[in-house]
Amino acid sequence: MQIEISATDSIVIELVARDPNPQDSVQIFALVQGVLPTGLRLSPTLCMPETVLSDSCPSQSQSCCSSCPPGRDYCTCGGFPSQTSFCPVDTRCNQAKLQVEYAPLAQNANTTVRLSFYPRDSSSYCALHGIRDASSMGWSGNYFNLTISVRRTTHVWKADWFDRFLLQDQIMSMYVGCVLSVRTAFVSRAIPSSGIVVERFSRRTWVEEEGAIEVVGYPSISTNSSLLDLQVVPRKGSEGSRMFLCVAALDVNGLLISNGTCSDNMEPCMYDSDCSRRCLPVCMRLETHKCRYCVEENILSSVRVQLGIDINWMRLWTLNDDSSLVLGTACPPFLDCRNGSLSQAVLDNPSLLPLLSQRGKFIVWVGLLQRLEGDAQAGALACAFRSSLASLQSLNPDLGILNSSSSVLKGSNVCLAACERSRGMSPVC
């Protein structure tokens, strides 16, 4: 028997042997050509007791049974050896099984293992009667030969974001107002003739909420690939948050095929032992940045009304009167913003507003980002920068500021709408 499996598959084969004599016990022996490969397990012989439900034996078998000592497989009837049929009783171990389990590793790819199995009962009577398969150790049955070939996996993970954000483990930037869109593919190297593949990410479009972040998945299947288009939409209130977003390939029954990829060749894996190097989770690290937002047309209105940030044109202009390269507001990969001239000021003067709105979404600063050198109370921090408690809370949802007495810890990145205070604002400084 020949079987071919992938380096990421696993198989279980059960072999059963039976002796018609209920008084005999059976064992199954295995012979391996070469060294037993890693991941291959052979169970010991396991007895399978049973009760044969029958009331009588054929008369010929009865007479033959009576002419032989109990427990012997062959008796002489008319001078010739003849296989005996036995009367039904509760058996001991005349039926047994052995299991072969093989979960090959990546290094087992393109290898073949050959095994032979043979059963042997406990009867030794016929050893002296010139029968080839009979010995003083017992009577041997027919050999069963098994060949298992391990091929390289027929699938590979593919995505434009793998190089920087998986292999180099960089953080993928997001900004409130922009949408992140990425595509991940699980590709078959051998295109099936039917055009149908068994792996999938999900049966339908799905939406998940992670705090103020919305994740939408759009699965599809092409001739030789399962595709997943993901859209991640950070909302107001997600500023400063970080999250992992991971994907996995499933079969049509929802069982996991792979949730990792080998770092050297992008082949699917589950553990490091499946790869020659590392098995990396198919995950991206996402961060929603603080103090910077995606805007489009009606820039001032977008910031004030849609984002709820109290700012005037003069402060917006002052914060963005330099190039996007200097300000760190160049549009990162996979976002739906666009870069203008990287050497010109992001906001120059109000007369450019119509032109700015024609270039699509772009990123602007709305405050100052400060890293605290010591612990501080929220109220004192607002007073120090002539800001309000409300804007401190709005721009820093990750800090959990409840009131003026809330502590902001050393090392925290705080977005400050500086110089916005007017009479009557909280806190009282």
Q: Give the lowest-confidence range in 2-11, 48-57, 293-302, 393-402.
A: 48-57
On whether both 24 and 83 belong to a single domain, the answer is yes
Q: pTM for this one?
A: 0.63
On whether both 6 and 121 belong to a single domain, the answer is yes
On whether both 94 and 43 belong to a single domain, the answer is yes
Of 270, 288, 306, the residue at which a domain comes to its end is: 288
pLDDT digits (tens, 9 = 90+) for 265-319: 888 888 888 888 899 999 999 999 999 999 887 788 888 887 778 788 888 888 8
pLDDT at 189: 67
Angle at 273 between CA 272 and CA 276, to 5 degrees: 80
When pLDDT is averaged across residues 168-183 and rounded to a whole number, the result is 94
Of 151, 171, 188, the residue at which a domain comes to its end is: 151
What tokens were used for 203? 């049966």
In DSSP terms, which residues pair with 112 in a beta bridge?
A: 149
On whether both 252 and 355 belong to a single domain, the answer is no
pLDDT band at 425 (very low <50, low <70, confident <90, very high): low
372, 416 Cβ separation under 8 angstroms: no
On whether both 120 and 12 belong to a single domain, the answer is yes
Of 105, 121, 151, the residue at which a domain comes to its end is: 151
In the chain, how many domains are there? 4
**Contact partners, residue 296, CB within 8 Å, separation at least 6:** 177, 302, 357, 360, 361, 362
Q: List the domain range (segments joined by +) for residue 344.
A: 292-366
On whether both 358 and 250 belong to a single domain, the answer is no
Indicate whether 424 belongs to any domain.
Answer: no
CATH of the domain at 101: 2.60.40
When pLDDT is averaged across residues 227-232 and rounded to a whole number, the result is 90
